[in-house]
Amino acid sequence: MTSLDTRPALVHAPSATDGEWWRHAVIYQVYPRSFADGSGDGIGDLPGITSRLPHLAELGVDAVWLSPFYRSPQADAGYDVADYRAVDPLFGTLDDFDALLLRAHDLGLRVIVDLVPNHTSDEHVWFEAAMAAGPGSAERERYLFREGRGPAGELPPNNWQSIFGGPAWTRVADGQWYLHLFDSRQPDLNWEHPEVRSEFEDVLRFWLDRGVDGFRIDVAHGMVKEPGLPDWDGHVSMIEGSDDAASPEDAVSGAGNQGPMFDQDGVHEIYRAWNRVLAQYAGDRALVAEAWVEPLSRLARYVRPDEMQQAFNFAFLATLWDAPALRSVIEASYVTADSVGAPTTWVLSNHDVVRHASRLGLAEAGSRPNGIGHGDEQPDEELGLRRARAATLLMLGLPGSAYLYQGEELGLPDHTALPDQLRQDPAFFRTGGAERGRDGCRVPLPWAADEAGFGFSPTGVTWLPQPASWAAYALDAQRGVAGSTYETYRGALALRRAEHLGTGGLTWDNAFGDEVIAFENRDVLVVANLGADPVELPVGLTVLASSGDLPDATTLPGDTTIWARRA
Ligand code: NOJ
């Protein structure tokens, strides 16, 4: 970790122009089943999203990323796709999608959709054909079917474990086994197969032709496996929901430890081909990698000029609430992204991790438990929210592109006491409940404090129950209320845009001590006090934004961030 005294001040130089939208965009993740329900069945849908798009325009984000809404048996909440070109009836129709896209574009919002190329659903026609055709058939070649080990092939072909728990192989009736890095209902595709490659290029074109602005690529580091699928005794780190986060040192400079199923060099050829597909379309379309790889220099390889445009910076999300560690990750993020001319990205919450308002209220602030339930340590809700707001204001002050997860603009915590019998995440079932899973961060949003289901659905039905405490977080309880989390986000997003902070630079200001992260981005000074004690601010600052109340003009309380201009 770099110490305060030896650190060079200028880490990242500002750009003269804003450049392509994805270099600086704030992108809001919509998790369709939990955003807004138009039909009244308790599950969010595309018409529900369209009806609430004005909220996102008012909030001031630049783009929306939609998690999967494709035809799917929902074994992994839509990340098990049965038809990549169809909308699941649960969420609406293709016409509903077109209407959503049109409305978003009218409101000045770009739209990114999710692409899930590592695996299909077991209900995809290819997998059904593979099951019907049997061993040795061409149909099986599109997936990773193998004979088992042991005298009667009764042992899996290798020792890989599923990321959701249990073996990564399932045996079928004829004795063969197929690989699934996730649930058994998500068979991995064979990316050495030319038909798999051409099919996904075609799927990209299908959505590009409809007008989408880009794709978030699921498990972007997983499609190509080491030839021979060798045994591996390591365990997968930097995965969704894991508390096995890399240390900041590993994220910054570690040797990488992803094993033979992840981050293989061959994956980059796929992204170069996709880059060429996108280049045939006008309008700066973008690819963003969901790649849990370390160190950051490996991640930078996904965003070389002829590959993807962005990669999620999970090293930032995985870092504890600790100023030296965060400074180190922030600095390394710029150094590595700048080395390939890509924008840095920032993210604190998504549908796979405990929301940052809850993680930051844990005794080990910022740690990542695999979900939180009854009997587990319960976060300090007030402290978690205070820190979450400070973390967000720090993040939005950083140049680059930032991702927000639906509901964080309301300060939502996870549902940390969901009854186990209501849980749906396959990770909960495949680990026998040892992992609580990700349902706690996927609870339907509260829009109206006094309505049934907090206004999520016209019938009041919600597919997961909302905590009663969420009345205070509802949008209508915060809109227009000065100092509310919603208005703090809105104000910060407006300032970020007006001051061009997304394409600004980062120059450390070392005057505040080790517990404080302070830097200048253009002429905005960002000061985040991660310690518990107040720190003194220079005289004459004009405070532009603050994550919490300030007692006076020269004191910055603990767990608080400000944006300010010097006299
Ligand atoms: C990452 C997605 O974000 C997660 O929700 C999903 O379960 C896995 N990939 C498998 O598709």
Distance CA 59, CA 262 (A): 37
Mean pLDDT along residues 458-468: 98
Q: What is the pLDDT of residue 567?
A: 85
Q: What is the pLDDT of residues 102-142, one digit of tens each?
A: 999 999 999 999 999 999 999 999 999 999 999 999 999 99
263 three-class SS: coil
Ordered structural domains, the chain, with CATH: 24-120+193-406 (3.20.20.80), 125-179 (3.90.400.10), 504-565 (2.60.40)
C-alpha closest to that of 390 among 367, 414, 366: 366
Active-site annotation holder among 45, 96, 218, 435: 218
Q: What is the pLDDT of residue 242?
A: 40
Give the alpha-carbon dihedral of 93, 412, 562, 12, to 10 degrees. -50
243: annotated active-site residue: no
Q: Which of 116, 218, 238, 262 should be mutated for ligand 1, with most atoms under 8 A from CB?
A: 218
Which residue owns the Cα nearest ligand 1 atom 8? Answer: 79
The phi, psi pair for 287, rounded to 5°, reads -115, 135
290: annotated active-site residue: yes
Give the position, in ligand 1's atom list, of the atom nearest the Cα of 116.
11
Q: What is the pLDDT of residues 353-401, one digit of tens each?
A: 999 999 999 999 999 999 999 999 999 999 999 999 999 999 999 999 9
Residue reference for tokens 């804003």? 18
Mean pLDDT along residues 219-245: 75
Asked whether residue 239 carries a pLDDT value surpassing 50, the answer given is no
Which own/partner contact pairs does 170-174 have at CB distance under 8 Å and 24+ positions apart?
A: 172/131, 174/134, 174/135
Asked whether residue 246 carries a pLDDT value surpassing 60, the answer given is no
Beta strands in 77-157 (DSSP E): 83-87, 110-115, 145-146
Contact 377, 355 (CB under 8 A): no
Beta-carbon contacts of 132 under 8 Å, excluding residues fewer than 6 positions away, are 139
Distance CA 298, CA 263 (A): 8
Active-site annotation holder among 37, 290, 425, 435: 290
Q: What is the pLDDT of residue 257?
A: 58
Mean pLDDT along residues 243-255: 59
Asked whether residue 244 carries a pLDDT value surpassing 50, the answer given is no
Contact 9, 510 (CB under 8 A): yes
Give the position, in ligand 1's atom list, of the atom nearest the Cα of 438.
5
Q: What is the pLDDT of residue 502?
A: 98
Say if residue 276 is exposed, middle or buried (CB neighbours under 10 Å; 0-12, 13-18, 19+): exposed
Which residue owns the Cα nearest ligand 1 atom 10? Answer: 79
Percent of the chain at pLDDT above 70? 95
| Cα of 263 from ligand 1 centre, angstroms | 16
Distance CA 255, CA 247 (A): 12
Asked whether residue 490 carries a pLDDT value surpassing 70, the answer given is yes
